[in-house]
Amino acid sequence: MRNSRGWWALAGVLAGLAGLAVSYAVASLLNVRESPVVAVAEGVTGLTPGSVVKWAIETFDRDDKKVLVIGMLLILFVLFAVLGQLARRRWWAAMLGYAALAGVAGVAVASKPNPGIIEFAPVVVGLLGWVVAMAVLAEWLRRWELVAESEDPAAEPMHTRRHFFIVAGITTGVAAFGGLIGRVAGSSRRNVEAARRLLRIEGVTAPEVPPGAALGVEGVGPWQTPNSDFYLIDTAYIKPTIEPVDWELRIHGMVDRELRLSYNDLVSREITEDWITLNCVSNNVGGDLIGNAWWSGYRLAAILAEAGPHPDADAVLQTSQDGWTCGTPLGALMDDRNAMLAVAMNGEPLPIEHGFPVRTIVPGLYGYVSATKWVVDLEVTRFDEITAFWTDKGWSELGPVKIASKIEVPGSGDDVPAGEVLCAGYAWFQHTGIGAVEVQVDGGPWQQAEIATTPNVDTWVQWQVMLDLDEGDHQLRVRAVGEDGSTQTGVVADVLPDGATGWHTVDITAKA
């Protein structure tokens, strides 16, 4: 027992590995977006200055993420060894250390767009793994130490030492088994990720923000929402992982010809691309369940026309691979708008979370009645014959997007210098278009804002207006006017059953 500190360090490392491994296994089994280690690695990349990231990418090329994860694991090894030694005399400090590490992972997971509760499971299980493994190993190390230091000739250090080794062996086994489960369970997701990375879809072009669409006001989110920041809403605890070769879309029901499309059939069609803003019916006034992307796909109007819908059909029941359903007006899928089966988002194959390999996008409708991710089945039918996932729960059958607007700067509670204050944000009324945006200070007259140009009526619109504010507290309000002349109502309505209404209001203080 001469080198007791070394044994404690070993115990720390083994417990650490076991915790990481069970966390990884749970992450893979639940198919959550990233294991905590990767989430932290991504967080680190996000916080690292651009020049360093650029250097790392150039130096390590495509392996930059791998290098980062390996580097983090090395740092963790050292930390685990230190925590193991700490556990010897200051148990609470070691536990605090594990909790802090889990806290970092938790923050990294929480910083992803709209993380579900399930995404925290790997962090919680990992922390439990650490604590349990460390407790068991510490127990036997202590006994060994006691016996080794004992004067009693009957005490047998061999016996306790053997026990510690057995427990250490079991912990190693758990770590190896957890790692194995993680590999095997994660393989379908890895295969799909690999297939996605290698995919080159003919005709998909990179997005270029149209000139004049972004006003460049500081504090206003980007006009084009990057995939990594795009809000995520779905009911799937485990995200479907579908390889393009395994994907098939069935179009049937009230049609003249039933169609079955493979991925290759789909991508050999004529591509269509467009800027379309997607938002969720659950978005509260001023909320951020909205994003704008460059979508590439294949026009549903053409595909449905081939199937030949019957004249008395008025709906399409869409079903995703995980069994989620929604009912979409047939008219919205067949008129001149760019309703599409999308395969790419912002010039890249759809991310798995956003519906890889194929999802529906329909300008002008909320996601819950139109934007089916992992879509596999379209049944042409009638609204009076179907129910769908959300309409079963009291949401409206039809979900046209309501006209809305939002102030992004100044933010609620901000202090601003009195005098000229730039107020800016977004307005949207997909498939009708925004004609004007007006801002009101303290219930006074509505002031016209300048609105940016947009490539079509299906995207959100940036706006800005210079306000003149006296010292003191002020309340700012915004409302939009549609291109059809309709004015956004100030009547407050809840998101249920068909979308929130009311004017977004921001309270600020102007200071000398």
Ligand X SMILES: Nc1nc2c(c(=O)[nH]1)N[C@H]1C(S)=C(S)[C@@H](COP(=O)(O)O)O[C@H]1N2
Which residues of the shown chain bind ligand X in the complex (CB under 6 A)? 230-236, 278, 280, 320, 322, 324, 354, 367-368, 371-374
Q: Which stretch binds Mo ion (CB under 5 A): 23-31, 167-175, 215-223, 361-369?
A: 361-369
| Min CB(230)–Mo ion separation in Å | 13
Is residue 115 within 8 A of residue 107, CB to CB? The reply is no
Q: Which stretch binds Mo ion (CB under 5 A): 75-83, 225-233, 462-470, 488-496?
A: 225-233
231 binds Mo ion (CB under 5 A): no
Structure tokens at 99: 């909790």
Of 72 and 236, which has the nearer Cβ to ligand X?
236
| Min CB(279)–Mo ion separation in Å | 8
Q: How far is CA 389 from the centre of its chain?
A: 21
Parallel, antiparallel or unpaired: strands 359-361 and 450-451: unpaired
Of 367 and 435, which has the nearer Cβ to Mo ion?
367
| Min CB(280)–ligand X separation in Å | 3
280 binds Mo ion (CB under 5 A): yes
| Min CB(375)–ligand X separation in Å | 7
Ramachandran angles phi, psi of 202, nearest 5°: -55, 130
Q: Which option in ligand X, Mo ion, none does residue 231 bind, with CB closer than 5 to 8 A by kind? A: ligand X
Residue least distant from Mo ion (Cβ): 280
Is residue 361 within 8 A of residue 375, CB to CB? The reply is no
Of 45 and 282, which has the nearer Cβ to Mo ion?
282
The enclosing H or E element of 84 equals helix 64-89
Q: Could you tell me the CA-to-CA distances from 94 to 91, 113, 146, 159, 403 in Å, in that order?
A: 5, 32, 21, 27, 54
**How far, in Å, CA of 242 to CA of 249, rounded?**
12
**How far, in Å, CA of 397 to CA of 387, rounded?**
8
Of 41 and 300, which has the nearer Cβ to ligand X?
300
Of 17 and 358, which has the nearer Cβ to ligand X?
358
Q: Which residues contact 173 (CB under 8 A, 6 or more apart)?
A: none
Is residue 394 within 8 A of residue 403, CB to CB? The reply is no
| Min CB(341)–ligand X separation in Å | 13
465 binds Mo ion (CB under 5 A): no
368 binds Mo ion (CB under 5 A): yes
Is residue 349 within 8 A of residue 359, CB to CB? The reply is no
* Partner residues linked to 290 by β-bridges: 279
Of 144 and 374, which has the nearer Cβ to ligand X?
374
Q: Which option in Mo ion, ligand X, none does residue 373 bind, with CB closer than 5 to 8 A by kind? A: ligand X
Q: Is the dihedral of CA 432, 434, 435, 440 positive or negative?
A: positive
Q: Within a 10 A sphere around the Cβ of 13, how many other Cβ atoms?
A: 22
Q: Which option in ligand X, Mo ion, none does residue 356 bind, with CB closer than 5 to 8 A by kind? A: none
| Min CB(372)–ligand X separation in Å | 5
395 binds Mo ion (CB under 5 A): no
The per-residue b/e assignment along 335-352, b for 16 or more CB within 10 angstroms, e otherwise, is eebbbbbbbbbbbbbbbb
Q: Which stretch binds Mo ion (CB under 5 A): 159-167, 278-286, 301-309, 401-409?
A: 278-286
Report DSSP letters for 361-372, one per residue: E-TTB-GGGT--
Q: Which stretch binds Mo ion (CB under 5 A): 276-284, 304-312, 483-491, 500-508?
A: 276-284
**How far, in Å, CA of 253 to CA of 250, rounded?**
10
| Min CB(417)–ligand X separation in Å | 37
Q: Which option in ligand X, Mo ion, none does residue 372 bind, with CB closer than 5 to 8 A by kind? A: ligand X
324 binds Mo ion (CB under 5 A): no
140 binds Mo ion (CB under 5 A): no
Residue least distant from ligand X (Cβ): 367
233 binds Mo ion (CB under 5 A): yes
**Residue ranges binding Mo ion (CB under 5 A):** 233, 280, 367-368
